[in-house]
């Protein structure tokens, strides 16, 4: 089972997808965990998630963990399929809990109130994460190194 999760081809396209996906998601996680980029940090975000949105604390905690540590792991090529599945779950939840009612398009021209964004960005994230679930990490990934180490260990046993 571990081999199926870690296995990937030596292709460049998954590298590009995982690096761009990491670049896009990381600032959101840094806002939530560290308060960077105008965010509220861990306490403020948890207060918002549990108090205003009404999420259970564990769900709020997992959102922060996935959005902050997930992109770091994607960039490193570490457990890419598992992280991509968690990103898919996260973004499906985001779509249904806060964006579906605003339609497809982002609020590019400020015609709606702040925070009223459609789902087009979220669909792009879902597509990128799904591509990584199918392809794996690609070249220059720790997943490939871990699989190689695991194969060596099983040969020497």
SS (H, E, C) the chain: CHHHHHCCCCCCHHHHHHHHHHHHHHHHHHHHHHCHHHCCHHHHHHHHHHHHHCCCHHHHHHHHHHHHHHHHHHHHCCCHHHHHHHHHHHHHHHHHHHHHHHCCCCCCCCCCCCCCCCCHHHHHHHHHHHHHHHHCCCCCCHHHHHHHHHHHHHHHC
What is the reported pLDDT for 155?
64
Give the global pTM.
0.88
Percent of the chain at pLDDT above 90? Answer: 69
Position 107 pLDDT exceeds 80: no
Report the number of distinct structural domains present in the chain: 1
Owning domain of residue 76? 2-156
What is the reported pLDDT for 101?
83
């Amino acid at each position: 089972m571990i081999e199926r999760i870690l296995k990937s081809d030596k292709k460049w396209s998954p590298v590009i997808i995982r690096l761009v996906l990491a670049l896009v998601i990381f600032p959101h996680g840094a806002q939530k965990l560290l308060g960077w980029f105008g965010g509220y940090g861990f306490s403020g975000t948890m207060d918002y998630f549990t108090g205003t949105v009404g999420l259970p604390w564990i769900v709020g905690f997992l959102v922060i963990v996935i959005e902050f540590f997930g992109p770091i792991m994607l960039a490193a090529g570490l457990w890419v399929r598992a992280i991509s599945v968690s990103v898919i779950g996260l973004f499906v939840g985001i779509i249904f809990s806060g964006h579906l009612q605003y339609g497809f398009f982002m609020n590019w021209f400020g015609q709606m109130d702040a925070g009223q964004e459609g789902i087009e960005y979220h669909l792009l994230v879902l597509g990128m994460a799904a591509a990584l679930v199918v392809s794996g990490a690609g070249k220059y990934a720790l997943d490939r190194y871990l699989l190689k180490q695991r194969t060596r260990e099983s040969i020497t046993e």
